[in-house]
Structure 1
């Protein structure tokens, strides 16, 4: 069984809805005196986090910020899938499709499961902002801008100057990070997840596991695309790397 690649859009529809739901839930718990759902409390009990008593508010604020970044990322990617990207007639296996849907549900839940369930509202918002929040958000914006530019470059290869789709074939992209790597949009995706790890304060092991998954997943896809370009375009730039510049 196979699904068309344009169904990638479904991943971001699910992510926008689910992570938006989690974001509202955490916002209510943080600022409106609400409580986290019982299933989150059950996960905390299983992980042994229910016994943690120390909560300065930083974990809640960091998680809230990361959920916001994740939701904004999903919104942008959904908009790009709907109005920017031009999908080929390629397909993906239905198992890969189902895994993708599950992944975008799990990744937001992972963030929510990292914070203590006992909310404390004793600190002002300004006191909860740390340097790693600023660094993480700045890196997120930087990587997101470059990813969008690269996706626009790819889409324009299949469009006329008027914006009409004229081809579904592959061409060699140039400009922005394409001058260094074959798949800069995959590299930018990795940087976006790294920026969220920074926003969580560097020490969240669970999120670093997510980053490692993104690294291997995007690297594999980039290597396959790089080999495709080299095989099908004899004049393909020799200096370009597959995934990470200069590596």
Structure 2
């Protein structure tokens, strides 16, 4: 019965991702017949300079972006802590929650989830810092309330997708620890063991480290591009001023920070081993969402600046 419930939840999860991806893919198709649909999607998904004028009524300030990453940090930290404790418990010899695979295979699977959540933690921590200390949002910049709610949901769903295969057993483990604490008034704590603590990361394969390197590559370039964007409004007098950004991947595309995000999620996908459809759909959503947003942003730049660099593409160098 429990297995059936897990599969039902996973099926619902997959459906949510597919429903989220399809409108973005359709809206990105370059056909005049889809203009009305494209405007409809933009009215809900647009933000800042690409927000549709008709959507201004149901909006919140774009500086609320920071809320997404606060939620992301809190939720990812909780998932990471719970999963890491479970992994350490397994490394210490307990594997009462594993089933349908050998102990070694299961330890690897849990350790891989720890690694993925650790990468996500690194990502959302930087994003929350950037939201409050790097970006200087214009007071007139808005985003649709549905986009705001959707983004809050995303930063709950994304970390959970990275560990969805083991989430039920981690939840049972946490529940057992809480029940034990309530019953006895204390938990069975052990002296800190460094080797035991890092053991979940010691059995990772080459695929995880390759994915981690790709993630880091995207992470570094996104940090650089965000610093460039933040520097464009260094003074209060520049709050409503738009300037063409230059430097790093901006020399190739209009939205290199979006490209970098796709790269780092590609790193997560590779690190996962590519065996979980939830992570494939997570990557698909990120790619579809940012490609669509980049296309709209690129068109805005071309309309705004007569001297905009003609060699730049929207998001993928020499392609789109």
Q: Judge same fold: TM > 0.5, yes or no.
A: yes
Residues 202-240 of structure 1, C-alpha deviations (whole Å, 9 max, x = no match): 222210111010011001110111001100100101110
TM-score, normalising length: structure 1? 0.85
Instruction: Work out which of the residue numbers 117, 131, 134 in structure 2 matches 1:84.
Output: 134
Query: Is the 8 Å Cα contact of residues 19 and 67 (structure 1) preserved in structure 2?
Result: yes
Instruction: Work out which of the residue numbers 145, 168, 176 in structure 1 matches 2:220.
Output: 145
More helix per residue: 1 or 2?
A: 2
1:199 to 2:267 alignment:
no
Take 1:82 and 1:126, find their aligned partners in 2: how far apart are those partners?
A: 32
Query: Is the 8 Å Cα contact of residues 302 and 308 (structure 2) preserved in structure 1?
Result: yes
Bigger Rg, structure 1 or 2: 2
2:113 alignment counterpart: 63
1:96-175 pair list within 5 angstroms: 96-115=147-166, 125=200, 128-159=203-234, 164-168=235-239, 169-175=241-247
Query: Is the 8 Å Cα contact of residues 58 and 128 (structure 1) preserved in structure 2?
Result: yes
Instruction: Work out which of the residue numbers 218, 242, 247 in structure 1 matches 2:314.
Output: 242
Using the TM superposition, name which of 79-88 and 176-185 deviates more: 79-88
Report the alpha carbon displacement of residue 112 of structure 1 after superposing the two structures with TM: 2.1
1:126 to 1:230, Cα distance in 2 relative to 1, 3 A:
closer
Say how many residue pairs are matched: 226
Secondary structure of the equivalent of 1:3?
Answer: strand
Using the TM superposition, name which of 89-98 and 4-13 deviates more: 89-98
1:210 to 2:282 alignment:
yes
1:182 alignment counterpart: 254
1:151 to 1:116, Cα distance in 2 relative to 1, 3 A:
closer
Residues 20-58 of structure 1, C-alpha deviations (whole Å, 9 max, x = no match): 001001011110359xxxxxx9xxxxxxxx963345122
Residues 150-195 of structure 1, C-alpha deviations (whole Å, 9 max, x = no match): 1111111111xxxx44312211011100000000000001111110
Take 2:59 and 2:167, find their aligned partners in 1: how far apart are those partners?
A: 41
1:18 to 2:68 alignment:
no
1:240 to 1:75, Cα distance in 2 relative to 1, 3 A:
same
Instruction: Work out which of the residue numbers 225, 233, 236 in structure 1 matches 2:297.
Output: 225
Residues 125-155 of structure 1, C-alpha deviations (whole Å, 9 max, x = no match): 5761211111111111111111011111111
Take 1:170 and 1:62, find their aligned partners in 2: how far apart are those partners?
A: 43
Secondary structure of the equivalent of 1:166?
Answer: helix
2:123 alignment counterpart: 73
1:93 alignment counterpart: 144
Query: Is the 8 Å Cα contact of residues 88 and 200 (structure 2) preserved in structure 1?
Result: no
Question: What are structure 1's unaligned runs of at least 5 residues?
Answer: 35-40, 42-49
